[in-house]
Chains A and B, each alone.
Chain A
Amino acid sequence: MQEITTYLAPHRLDEALQAMADADATVLCGGTDLAPQTESGARRYQAKLLNIRRVQGLGAIDTTGAEIRIGATTSVAAIRRHAALAAIAPVLAEAAEHFASEQIRNAASLGGNLCNASPAGDLSPPLLVLGAAAELACWRGGAVQTRRVPLDQFFVGPGKTVRRADELLTAVVFERPAADFVCRFRKAGPRPALEISTVSLAVGARRAGGRLADVRVALGSVAPTPLRARRVEHALEGKGLDAASIAAAVEAASEDARPIDDVRASAWYRGHLVRVFVEEVLNELRRD
Chain B
Amino acid sequence: MSCVETEIRFQLNGREVRLDVPVTMKTLQMLRERLDLTGTKYACGEGECGACTIQVDGQTVNSCLMYAVDCDGRELVTIEGLRTPAGLHPLQQAFVDHGAVQCGYCTPGMIMQAHGLLQKNPALTREEACRGLEGNLCRCTGYTKILDAVQAVAEKG
Contact = CB atoms under 8 A, between A and B. Distances in A.
A102 B134 CA distance: 8
Contacts of A38: 24
Contact of A107 (B4, B45, B62, B72): B62
B60 A2 contact: no
B70 A53 contact: yes
A35 B26 contact: yes
Contacts of A210: none
Contact of A3 (B2, B61, B113, B116): B2
A93 to B, nearest CB: 15
B45 A36 contact: yes
B82 interface: no
Contacts of A2: 1
A2 to B, nearest CB: 6
Nearest to B112: A103
B13 interface: no
A104 B24 contact: no
B152 interface: no
Nearest to B48: A194
Interface residues of A, number: 31
Given A4-B23, A102-B113, A35 B65 contact: yes
Given A35-B64, A194-B48, A103 B24 contact: no
B134 A107 contact: no
Given A4-B23, A104-B47, A193-B135, A36 B65 contact: yes
A194 B2 contact: no
Contact of A28 (B45, B59, B67): B67
Interface of A: 1-7, 9, 28, 30-32, 35-36, 38-39, 45, 49, 51, 53, 77, 100-104, 106-107, 192-194
30 contacts: A1-B2, A2-B1, A4-B2, A4-B4, A4-B23, A4-B24, A5-B3, A7-B4, A9-B69, A9-B72, A32-B47, A35-B26, A35-B64, A36-B45, A36-B47, A49-B3, A49-B24, A51-B70, A53-B70, A77-B59, A101-B47, A101-B50, A102-B113, A102-B117, A102-B135, A103-B135, A104-B135, A107-B62, A107-B66, A194-B134
Given A7-B6, A35-B64, A104-B62, 9 more contacts: A3-B2, A32-B65, A35-B65, A39-B45, A102-B60, A102-B135, A103-B50, A103-B60, A194-B134
Interface of B: 1-4, 6, 23-24, 26, 45-48, 50, 53, 59-62, 64-67, 69-70, 72, 113, 116-117, 132, 134-136
